[in-house]
Amino acid sequence: MAGHSKWANIKHRKAAADAKKGKVFTRLIKEITVAAKLGGADPNSNPRLRRAMDKAREANMAKDSVQNAIKRGAGQLDGVTYEEARYEGYGPGGAAVLVACLTPDRSRTGAQVRHAFLEHGGSLGADGSVAYLFNTVGLMAYPPGTDEEQLMQVALEAGAEDVVPHADRSVEVLADPLELDSVRAMLTHRGFAPATAEVTRRAASSLELSGEAAERMVHLLEALEGLDEVRDVYSNVEISDEVLARI
């Protein structure tokens, strides 16, 4: 998303909070289940499932939990069935917001998402109202201090589409979503294993907010992130470090 590097510190805090609440495993199980349901139980032919399993391994999830989630998704075990749902809307100042969910109950989740928008000065839009503002990309993130020039050379040789440096000296490498795994494998082989690698949505252009609108936007994004059935929240908003620090 636009503003990814500035918003990352909020998402990291959210991840830490989820870890304390035990929500990390819940979200991973949902993702594994849906990935297996949509693309099959074989991670060798299902990139989405393979990436979900990698995240589960990094989170030290038990292998039995991973396998049971795969079996439920493939219809080999009874259990809760999840489906993907997407909601689009506008935040304070007209910022675009895209909310990706994994849910067993679309009506309940839709009501929760609508409430979060209304409570924080936003509004839920119709399907297609903001989705066109976002591109699907393969994104690999590197921490501050990464050798940008060397990474750029290796990334372009590996078939990456772009290398994006940030003011905090972190770096993002963008790739075609279908090529993400092969690009990551080559980067890792050359000594540039990314901190994270995922298929995500990125805004084509950004909207900078300040003052009260920026603060309300942060609270909206945090409220949406806090919903159990929300997988990812994307926005085209840019918020200054000063505003984030104050909040």
Tens digits of residue pLDDT in 56-71: 988 889 999 999 999 9
pLDDT in tens, 17-40: 555 556 778 888 999 999 999 999
Which of 53-62, 111-120, 200-209 is most confident?
111-120
Contacts 24+ apart (CB under 8 A), 179-182: 179/138, 180/47, 180/138, 180/140, 181/47, 181/50, 181/51, 182/158
3-state SS track over 55-90: HHHHCCCCHHHHHHHHHHHCCCCCCCCCEEEEEEEE
Say yes or no to pLDDT of 16 above 80: no
**Per-residue confidence band for 4, with pLDDT thresholds at 50, 70 and 90:** very low
In one-letter notation, the amino acid at residue 232 is D
Distance between start and end Cα atoms, the chain:
20
pLDDT at 92: 93
- The position carrying tokens 């289940």 is 33
Instruction: Give the pair of three-digit tokens for residue 71.
Output: 């079996």
pLDDT at 82: 87
pLDDT at 14: 53
Average confidence score pLDDT of the chain: 88
Span 9-23, mean pLDDT? 55
pLDDT at 245: 76
Span 46-53, mean pLDDT? 92
Say yes or no to pLDDT of 175 above 90: yes
pLDDT at 58: 85
Ordered by where they begin, the domains of the chain are: 4-73 (1.10.10.200), 84-127+207-239 (3.30.70.980), 133-203 (3.30.70.980)
Span 142-166, mean pLDDT? 93
**Per-residue confidence band for 221, with pLDDT thresholds at 50, 70 and 90:** very high
Say yes or no to pLDDT of 95 above 50: yes
Residue 27 CA to residue 224 CA, distance in Å, equals 14
pLDDT at 6: 43
pLDDT at 22: 65
User: H or E stretch including 122?
Assistant: none
β-bridge pairing 207-209 and 237-239: parallel
Instruction: State how far Cα 53 lies from the chain centre.
Output: 15
pLDDT at 210: 86
pLDDT at 45: 92
Say yes or no to pLDDT of 241 above 90: no
pLDDT at 39: 93
Say yes or no to pLDDT of 235 above 70: yes
CB contact burial 18-41 (16+ within 10 A = b; e otherwise): beeeeebbebbbbbbbbbbbebeb
Span 182-189, mean pLDDT? 95
